[in-house]
Chain A
């Protein structure tokens, strides 16, 4: 009896480990992935009402702690925004009577790079559930016409793509995630490359840009939209931070900063676009 008591926890652990490894293998090989996807979607839908209620109750608490932790950053940003506000006020006065400039501003707000692609506006409801993923959850899902793989943008440019969608929620992977990559085109030369995320504070890396191509600092990089690309063409992705050619290299080392401030997003737009269109 005493031996059984001593070995029981080990036996249970062994069973649990074997079960977990079986699940990992099934998921990794894609066997039963339909079932796993259904379970995942079901769990998200089931949790959505609880999450909504909790968000409304806990949001002020979260804001308090966030403000407390980032007090220094917020103070600095406040000063920067004040300065920017003064600048913008000056510019606004200059452009007060300019109908054309006002229209340009409105066009910008209307995501003119998106064209006539149908879109769904969504609010970000949760940040990533894991420290190993740069994702967020939005309050719209397949019921609103959102599907896996759809591009997600904001007024400034590309935010990421939908990686999972349940009926009432969808998960968006941000373009800075290290598993994210997108075909891009340099705006001045028209050269195409592939931009890859490298983490939340790190710039994205652009590969395949030839050494002879002239790349300017601050140059806009947009989605290439080549055949079979998962993103439509012309969506701003980033601005060139740095471009250099190491001796003997066959391509340039180009780094870009995303045009979208991913830490300040509240609403995003999902483009109902697929490569087949």
Chain B
């Protein structure tokens, strides 16, 4: 039972670190997105179903702290968590550089998807000339952070089975 509390606890930690620490660290005015990374790690560790569920819950909370329409992050994060989980199920071997590489690509995809779907629902200013830079910087910073977060997520999701990248 207690092991199931690890996931919400880790989520609270990630949210706190994002709002209190990472929001102050920027490269070219772009900050890392730990919540997006958390979803990527959940998909990578426990597959598409858990990835989508964690993505939805994380996105819904993320939506409460921004001005964008409620449900936008939930939609993007669910799709992303599912996609990363589906990718992970096709992996044959565990290699140390797969989590950072996945975090890099998936974070970039997440940023672009957020902007595009945002534009569709009325936030047309999300698609802007700096979007590629934003996606790239978030991708690089999340790739670095993934080296730590994937292990923590693996620990938090040990009850969900299919534990990987924990070593």
Contact = CB atoms under 8 A, between A and B. Distances in A.
A16 interface: yes
Interface stretch (B1-9, B24-32, B91-99, B151-159): B24-32
Contacts of A69: 25-27
A66 B72 contact: no
A144 interface: no
B62 interface: yes
B47 A9 contact: yes
A179 interface: yes
Q: Is the interface of B mostly helix, strand, loop or mixed?
A: helix
A171 B21 CA distance: 18
Interface stretch (A37-45, A86-94, A230-238): A37-45
B135 to A, nearest CB: 9
Contacts of B31: 127-128, 131
Interface string A121-146: 00000111111110100000000000
Contacts of A201: 29
A97 to B, nearest CB: 43
Given A16-B56, A51-B16, A133 B67 contact: yes
B122 A28 contact: yes
A265 interface: no
Interface string A43-73: 1100100110011011101110110010000
Interface string B18-45: 1111011111011101000000000000
A186 B147 CA distance: 53
Interface residues of B, number: 57
B78 A13 contact: yes
A43 B30 contact: no
Interface residues of A, number: 52
A63 B20 CA distance: 11
A129 B62 contact: yes
Contacts of A59: 20
Contacts of B115: 132
Contact of A16 (B25, B69, B74, B130): B74
Given A16-B74, A43-B64, A62 B25 contact: yes
A54 B71 contact: no
Contacts of B140: none
A44 B67 CA distance: 13
Interface stretch (A19-27, A221-229, A247-255, A269-277): A19-27
Interface string B67-81: 111111011001100
Contact of B71 (A8, A23, A51, A131): A23
Contacts of A55: 20
A155 interface: no
